[in-house]
A and B are shown apart, each in its own frame.
Chain A
Amino acid sequence: MPDSPVIQTFELSKQFREVRAVDRVSIAVERGQVFGFLGPNGSGKTTTIGMLMGIITPTAGSFALFGASDAKGHLAARARVGATLETPNFYPYMSGRDNLRVAATIKDVGSDRIDECLEIVGLAGRGRHRFRTYSLGMKQRLALAATMLNDPELVILDEPANGLDPQGMKEVRDIIRILADRGKTIFLSSHLLWEVERMCTHVAIVRKGQVMKVGTVAEIVSEQVRALVRVEDTGALEAALADYPDATGVQTTDEGTVVSLKSDDLAGLNRYLAARGIYVSHLARHQQTLEDAFIELTQGDYGSMTEIAS
């Protein structure tokens, strides 16, 4: 089945006691995509990946890896995957090298590959040191090295740049780019949009366990007509727009107020506002960015916008 998606989920769901962590998630990741799985903290990203990797049992729905949808097929398919989940998970008392040896033995790859992978992530000089002496950045890089051991066709990274400094994040991005250039399929989760937006070809935006939107970056970004309006009195503007039949959404940001419109009639909007005594200092067509879409779709889940805006 050469055409089956690398990952496909069918209404995949997980209910923890009271929490519906993953709620009927249906996505498909095709070969060669860099797929961003984006959502705020607690939106079910880790749980979804955990189900794909066989450590969490779904409570409903199913999934296929490389077209295989039964337990035996999943296990075999996992040999073609390299993945990290949440924090780097290693034996603290063992050296980085010995930790990779455990993974390499499971994946049935030789020890020369361990050295290669340590080299790629820049840990060749520290391989003999105990894992517990590593900095967070080194731990993350060791996790990346572990995912690469079996030269996987699919790389799944759960918040790969979590806790890294800008330099560390850049290094992680570089490694991901190298993998993508080699034609690997990459499935990447993040709650930090800017961390991944430049790398992804496709995105799913999740919120409270549900997929809000999925598609290419261009598809996610709304084709809807939007106008950016700046006025003196934003309150009056919002009040006026509430009655404007063509407006489907209003969102006030630092830049001004973004109005989603049913039609392309910006002049009509201007006339409507002027008739209500609201004179705009700025009125222009507004192209939504991925970040705008993300904020809109996950609105209310962030106490402040600083986390995604920083």
Chain B
Amino acid sequence: MSRPGTLLRIEFIKARKRPALWLTLGVFVFFTVVTVLPSLMRAMQGGGPGPPFALPWIWRGVLQPPINMGPFFLGAAMILLFAPEFGWKTARQNVIDGLAKEHLFFGKLITFALLVAAFFVVPIVTGVAASIISPEPTGTFARGPELNHMFGYAVVLCLWGSVGFLLAATIRASGGALGIMFLYFLVENMVTSIVPAWNPALERYLNFLPTQLFDTLTRIEFYYPDALALANEQRAAMGQRLLEFPEYWAVVSAVLAYVALFMGVSFVTMRKRDL
């Protein structure tokens, strides 16, 4: 059998009966449905203000909080499916049974890709289903801004997935890796809220830290000019600073660079360290 086929099969056998995976995915599906339901109910009762709850406008209502927490769930799932292999010494046994250390990396890369696909498909399917149920008139699947939004969401899934991957490959224990992931999230947010007050010139660079990129890519205002105009109108009225974002492709490229970096470091770590 070819190696990719072997790797896919063993990852499938391992994941299939892993309660932690189904629990994480289940909680995510639950959040997705809970997010979509109120909007769907409103639409069925005649609709509210703002764009209709139907394709293609539906995406800004689906890919919004708390579904934007999906990447975190993905990072957690990645850690749970990867890190314990060190504690159980099954990574070791897989190599003894005939895999190379590099194969371990590629096996987990397959899991990573499948997780991204799953966490991407859940809100998309939910959105399409909601649109079918919703009585409001349905248009095309997605236009430019919606496609950017979806792609941005997929990219941010990869970002936290690669963070989970890196932490699993280096910390090698799920408790520690999960702890550090959430701690990092908190610390980065603290730093980015304190530092600009102290040195405003640094803010531009801080915007390119992982959590800030994540924040940008999960904001509706980043994708939809009308939403940005509305938000800034309100901010202006309240005397707040207006929202400003970097270029779409600058943000996406920065995230992809992080993903490449984290995966690269993971690969080297996996290859070098003893099991």
Contact = CB atoms under 8 A, between A and B. Distances in A.
A89 B100 contact: no
Interface string B128-149: 0000000000000000000000
Contacts of B250: none
Contacts of B274: 50, 55-57
A55 B10 contact: no
Interface string B147-187: 00000000000000000000000000000000000000000
Contact of B98 (A79, A86, A91, A94): A79
Interface residues of A, number: 30
A86 to B, nearest CB: 8
Interface string B254-275: 0000000000000000001011
B13 A102 contact: yes
A83 interface: yes
Interface string A64-84: 000000010001001100011
Contacts of A87: 89
A106 interface: yes
Interface stretch (B14-22, B38-46, B206-214): B14-22
B13 A105 contact: yes
Nearest to A57: B274
A189 to B, nearest CB: 14
B1 A108 contact: yes
Contacts of B9: 105
Report which residue of A53, A90, A146 has the largest number of chain B beta carbons within 10 angstroms of its beta carbon: A53
Contact of B89 (A53, A75, A89, A102): A89
A54 interface: yes
Query: DSSP class of B's interface residues: helix, strand, loop or mixed?
Result: helix
Interface in B76-92: 88-90, 92
B96 A85 contact: yes
Given A56-B274, A89-B90, A91-B90, A107 B13 contact: no
B95 interface: yes
Nearest to B5: A105
B93 interface: yes
Interface residues of B, number: 25
A138 to B, nearest CB: 17
A98 interface: yes
A83 B96 CA distance: 7
A158 to B, nearest CB: 10
A92 interface: yes
B98 A106 contact: yes
A101 interface: yes
Contacts of A107: 97-98
A93 interface: yes
A93 B101 contact: no
B94 interface: yes
Given A101-B13, A105-B13, A106-B10, A54 B101 contact: yes
A55 B96 contact: yes
A192 B175 CA distance: 36
Contacts of A103: 93, 97
Contact of A108 (B6, B95, B275): B6
Report which residue of B9, B95, B96 has the largest number of chain A beta carbons within 10 angstroms of its beta carbon: B96
A86 B93 CA distance: 11
B227 interface: no
B98 A90 contact: no
Contacts of A84: 96
Interface in B1-53: 1, 6, 9-10, 13-14, 17-19
12 contacts: A50-B274, A53-B96, A54-B101, A55-B92, A55-B95, A56-B275, A79-B98, A85-B89, A91-B90, A102-B10, A106-B6, A106-B94
Q: Rank and list the top 4 A-B pairs by shortest CB-CB distance, nearest first.
A: A89-B89, A89-B93, A55-B275, A106-B97
